Amino acid sequence: MDLGYTDTGRFLDAIEAGAHFLVRLKAQHDPKVLRVHVGKGERVRARGMRLTDALLQGVLREDGGVIDVDVQLEKQGRTASARVVAVQGPEGERRWYLTTVGRDVLTALEVAEAYRLRWRVELLFKALKSGVGLTALRATRLGAVLSLVYAKVMALALSRLREFSMQHKVGESGQQQVTGRLARVLALTRCAPLLLSHAMMSRGVTLEQLEERILLIAEVTARSRQQRRERERRRREASLGSGR
């Protein structure tokens, strides 16, 4: 969940809807501690205290750089239980997370790692939208739209493979060069559909006709793939039959 949506009311809505979330804990939340699972100090006394008070009074302390507690979220008479995790960062800072994901799914350290990977997911969608132009599909029919979506995802995957390949060859010193080449690839990838549609329209091909051609190509490709699978199946059956 994005930090722009870190409102306790939204958390309660998500919990009541049966959804799970993982966000950075803001100081303004300061939930009530229900139970301490990981942490040193006076665990029993910490129950019912505000998280900030328990920390300031030394009732709750880190255990191996980790704190993992059950907390109560509340707003306008509505309440629900959640989980607060604190993990020590690489520079010794304490990083706080609020989540509803159970300990049987993610440990405290895995919660922090999952939040870190969240940024990779956001970068992926950003590359899909602004990099290869996923939000600018010049098609209306379902088949054509799906074909364009798959093509753009494949284009991004290929560009990332190219980036990783270049990084492996040039190392960290050539990172700027690699990034520049990737940017050019993404720019050309995004411009390709526009250039194609412009070229077709200059030849008198309408958008609907272009969609029909895309669908025809997709249909022929699918039929060819199915025929190859059928031939392979027949070869396997023939080889099994000859071995009896």
Supply the pLDDT for residue 169: 67
Rounded Cα distance, 210 and 212, in Å: 5
Residue carrying structure tokens 């031939």: 231
Question: For the segment 69-87, what is each residue's pLDDT rounded down to a tens digit?
Answer: 999 999 989 999 999 999 9
- In the predicted model, what is the mean pLDDT of the chain? 81
Question: For the segment 159-196, what is each residue's pLDDT rounded down to a tens digit?
Answer: 777 766 766 666 655 555 555 665 666 565 556 666 66
Whether this prediction's pTM lies above 0.75 is answered by: no
Supply the pLDDT for residue 242: 62
For residue 201, pLDDT beyond 60 = yes
For residue 63, pLDDT beyond 90 = yes
Rounded Cα distance, 54 and 95, in Å: 17
Which of 198 and 31 is assigned the larger pLDDT?
A: 31
DSSP character at residue 26: P
For 84, left (φ over 0), alpha (ψ -120 to 50), or beta? beta
Which of 147 and 15 is assigned the larger pLDDT?
A: 15
Q: What percent of the chain has pLDDT over 70?
A: 79
CA dihedral 101, 103, 106, 111 (to 10 degrees): 70
Supply the pLDDT for residue 175: 54
- Identify any residues that bridge with 80 across adjacent strands, giving them in sequence order: 73
**133: helix, coil or strand?**
coil
Contact 156, 133 (CB under 8 A): no
Alpha helices in 39-83 (DSSP H): 43-46, 51-56
